[in-house]
Structures are given as C-alpha cells and as structure tokens.
Amino acid sequence: MDALVMCGGKGTRLESTREKPLYPIAGEPMIDRVLAALSDSAVATVHAAASPNAPGTRTRLERDERVRTIETPGEGYVADLLAALESPAVSPPVLSVAADLPLLAATVVDRVLAVYGGQGSLTVCVPVALKHRLGVSIDSRLESATHLAPTGVNVVGATDSDANSNQRKSQPMHVSYDSRLAINVNRPEDARVAADFLAGPGTRAGVGADANEDENGVSR
C-alpha cells in the first residue's frame, strides 16, 4: 500500500513563524520524522500533499528522494485529501498520515497495515483518556464514539465519501493504546510533550506499546 502524508497546514496554533510540517521536535522537523518512519515501514511509495499554505515544506519535499509531491489547493484537510486522491499517482486504498505525528514509527505503521482488512476504509483512533493522561490537546472526537479521538492515520478506501472517515458512523475502527499515535503536535504544549518523550527512556507512558496492543487493541 502507498502512503499519503498530509502536510498543508499553516500551524498557526503552534504560535511559530515556521510552517507546521517544518516545526522542529528535538531539533528535527516533524515532516522528516514522519518520512523516516514511513521509509522504514512496509509502505510501498510515499506521496506528500503539499499546499500553498506551506511553500517551504513543498521546497523541502521536492529535494527529498523518499517522497513524491502532489500539489493540493490548501482549502482544508478533507479538500486537500480529495484533491490528492484525484491524482493519477495515487490509487486507493492508501494510508493517509498527518504530518504532525513526530513519534510515528515504522512498527506503528506496519501494525495499521496488518490490521487493515483489505476492503473499504479504516479509521485509527485513540482513547480521549489517553490524550488527557499525556497532557496533549484534543481537537476532535469521533461523532459515533466521543470517548475516542482520531489519530491522523487512516486507510482511505476507493470511494470519495471515505475521505471524511472520521465522521462516518459505520466506519470500521482500530482503537490503539499507543502513545505515539496520541501525540499530534498542534500547540506548543504538544511539542513539549513530544520532545520530552524523545528525550526520555525508550518506553514511557505507553510509547513503544506495540506488545500491549495485541491484548488491549480493539478492531471492529
């Protein structure tokens, strides 16, 4: 399966002059961390949806041999995702990944690919309680299960309506308890939490929780 990295955000909530994908966590831009995880995973080809909102990100991506850039209008996440899916270079199902997941790892990506059943779409979410425990922001919840929050990682199926999968009540879900999927960096405090995890021990407050997810993970 190919991957599509969504990296058109302005990052205004980060209170920084840097574009969101280029915001550094422990000295490394988030987009570089995400691309490294995808490059080491079982993903076939990595595409990146770049928009006019992040021209510096686009320039950086065009110099990176690990990724193929797709231009999108910058009119919001769903609009950009639909635009990217219309590109002849992208064939669903495709793994969509937000560029604000600096703790993403190849093992996490491969677990999502293994969970995917091969049909339709898949929403990957985490418990809201986990995000509370980590001290990171909660910007959205699933309409069908308000105790769950989307992670920014999904498998998008072949139909356009699947693109807005976080709002589809019948959408198959995989509930993860892995903190690496719970830390989306949208605000300065999120960035501090992510940097703290990277600076700490290898396993901390759920980071590296792949082994536990066999017992606690829920797919339906």
217: pLDDT strictly greater than 50 = no
Q: Which residue has the higher pLDDT, 195 or 165?
A: 195
210 pLDDT band, cuts 50/70/90, is very low
Q: Which residue has the higher pLDDT, 163 or 1?
A: 1
Q: Which of 12-16, 158-162, 205-209 has the highest mean pLDDT?
A: 12-16
Q: What is the 3-state secondary structure (H, E, C) of the chain?
A: CEEEEECCCCCHHHCCCCCHHHCEECCEEHHHHHHHHHHCCCCCCEEEEECCCCHHHHHHHHCCCCCEEEECCCCCHHHHHHHHHCCCCCCCCEEEEECCCCCCCHHHHHHHHHHCCCCCCEEEEEEHHHHHHHCCCCCCCCCCCCCEEEEEEEEECCCHHHHHHHHCCCCCEEECCCHHHCCCCCCHHHHHHHHHHHHCCCCCCCCCCHHHHHHHCEEC
Please report the pLDDT score of residue 159 as a whole number: 59
The structure's pTM equals 0.85
Average pLDDT value for residue range 30-49: 96
**List of domains in the chain:** 2-219 (3.90.550.10)
